[in-house]
Structure 1
Amino acid sequence: MKFTKMHGNGNDFIVIEDFERRYLKNQENIAMELCHRNFGIGADGVLFVRNTDEADIEMVIINSDGSYAAMCGNGLRCFVKYVYEKDIVKADLINVKTGDGIKSVEIKGENGITQHIKVNMGNPSFDYKDIPLSENKTLIDYPIIIKNRNYNITTLRMGVPHTVIFGELKDFNIEDGKDIETNEIFKEGTNVNFCEIVNRNHIKVITWERGAGPTLACGTGNCASAFAAKTLNLVDNKILVEVQGGKLNILIENNHVFMIGNAEFICEGNILMDL
């Protein structure tokens, strides 16, 4: 199997071309094998490149534990860089079908290489049905007790469910995200973002990703954190998000979130697998 490994701010992915949908029925097991950091290539997830009649191209994301992810911001930037630089889709505006709908991505390239990727991540939702929650509640700065610990959480759907907790990063243990992820109020679990406000244009975020655990970056988590902070009037509409793996710029306009950054190739090759 041919593969390409990429990363967006340290959030790493294996990209597999699957135009004939050869791997569709076995994609969960393939992802778990490929993503294993001792017995496989090692990654947070696999991005399958597939054709579609509904957009220019389709991206399917499978997490390292074999679970399906509707959307991933860092993964989408890697995916778009891949299809652009591999001449699969050569355009300044690429429409990508995802599990969270069609995402429009603007490309600024030079000599066939992406320099700037701007993703319209859409309009986040606090509706309990969209997240989804087990109770009819709006979780904005909402007090909750999880395993005898007090949190004030803000939960929204930014492509996938995200819960944001504000404070100083030194006071958080990233492993606490596991207990929050699996709380019964979250019908499909939740990603968990611990967010520190540096100033009105700068935040720091660490993320526990549903289906992957701690990651160096999470694109949808960065967007969710910025939008939650804006909702609570903690930041302005242009926000630099600093994560362990790098930085992203987030722009909020008319309740739409735009993610601006790039992605990087790591390596390419072949891996032997029993399919």
Structure 2
Amino acid sequence: MSIKIQFSKYQGAGNDFILIDNRNGHFDRNNEELIKKLCDRRFGIGGDGLMLLQNTKNFDFEMVYYNADGAEGTMCGNGGRCIVAFARDLNIISEKTDFLAVDGPHDAEIAAYQVNLGMIDVNQIHRDREAYVMNTGSPHYILKVNDLANLDVFKEGYAIRNNEIYGEKGINVNFIEPEENGYFVRTFERGVEDETFACGTGATAAAMAMAIDQSLEGDLRIPIRVLGGQLYISFHKSGNTFTNVYLKGPANFVFKGEIEIG
């Protein structure tokens, strides 16, 4: 028996996602094989991940995020911005929202194609030799490098993500290099198991790592350039504690359609 699934496609700085309005609860959120198939770029719709927009008490909606491998994932910053745009386009919200994700409540504001998304506070920063390690809704490893444009991000990121320290649960690996107007970041994402055009929680972690690295304090706004565009991270830093954290960047509708799954 085949089923037809209505979907929309959005992208945030090149991070692309399948969005499904599941307020009626008809989509089976436990069907990992189906989600993996939908995310496949040759046999499905194609995407770095899939999100369900669902009803929940006390919030405008709930965001349920899945990695491209079909498994339910941790928080996705670029996905969070895209689902805010999706909710706006469904007339669930207008300019502001409070929604629920796997790491707790998030607030956001949307104007045209830019979404400013509230992220979780961070107060635990670890070091792994030269790298910074933290959780900004998803776990991240941040390493400063030279000549990032020519770095083999797949090879280097794959090795760190699968090493004896991080291999069991995996970690997202971010390489960062200073540039004239901020920083350039490239990311190897677990769950996708490849480099992506952007990673919102990774850009957030990278900005925090550089604030520590440069001994910055107070209210800060750090530009982060990724392969897919420009992101801006703002927060209040006091020592190694980050509060009032926001991730700002684009969220664009690409297309919508219907797919039949047999």
Residues 69/126 of structure 1: CA separation in 2 closer, same or farther (3 Å cut): same
C-alpha spacing 1:64/1:209, structure 2 compared with 1 (3 Å): same
Partner of 2:231: 248
Counterpart check, 1:231 vs 2:229: no
Q: What is the total number of aligned residue pairs between the two structures?
A: 247
Counterpart in the other structure of 1:271? 259
1:17 match: 21
- Matched position secondary structure for 2:119: strand
Q: Tell me the secondary structure at the aligned position of residue 271 of structure 1.
A: strand
Q: For 1:195 and 1:220, how far apart are their aligned partners in 2?
A: 14
Unaligned stretches of 5+ residues in structure 2? none
Q: Which runs of 4+ in 1 moved over 4 A?
A: none
Indicate the SS of the match to 1:78.
helix
Residues 12 and 81, structure 2, Cα contact 8 Å, conserved in 1: yes
* Structure 1: 5+ residue stretches without partners: 109-113, 128-137, 144-151
Give the conservation status (yes or no) of the 8 Å contact 2:60–2:92. Answer: no
Match of 1:84 in 2: 88
- Which region of structure 1 is more displaced relative to structure 2, 26-35 or 212-221? 26-35
Distance 1:67 1:233 in 2: 37
Normalised TM-score (structure 1): 0.84
1:261 CA displacement = 1.7
RMSD across aligned C-alpha pairs, in angstroms? 1.8
User: Is 2:106 the counterpart of 1:103?
Assistant: yes
Q: Once the two structures are superposed, what CA deviation does each residue of 1:94-133 show, in whole Å capped at 9, x if it has no partner?
A: 111101111111223xxxxx34321111212426xxxxxx
CA distance in 1, matches of 2:113, 2:223: 18
- Partner residue in 1 for 2:44: 40
Q: Which moved more, 1:180-189 or 1:7-16?
A: 180-189
Alignment of 1:102-181 (within 5 A): 102-108=105-111, 114-126=112-124, 138-139=126-127, 142-143=128-129, 152-168=130-146, 169-170=148-149, 172-175=151-154, 176-181=156-161
Give distance in 2, aligned partners of 1:247 and 1:193.
Answer: 16
Give the Cα–Cα distance (whole angstroms) in 2 for the partners of residues 93 and 27 of structure 1: 32
Q: How many Å apart are 1:234 and its aligned residue?
A: 6.7
Aligned identity (percent) is: 34
159-168 or 254-263: which moved more?
A: 254-263
C-alpha distance after superposition, 1:40-99 (max 9, x if no partner): 111100011100014210011111111221211110111000101220223x32111101
158, 164, 167: which one pairs with 1:184? 164
Going from structure 1 to structure 2, the CA distance change for 1:57 and 1:189 (only over 3 Å counts) comes to: same
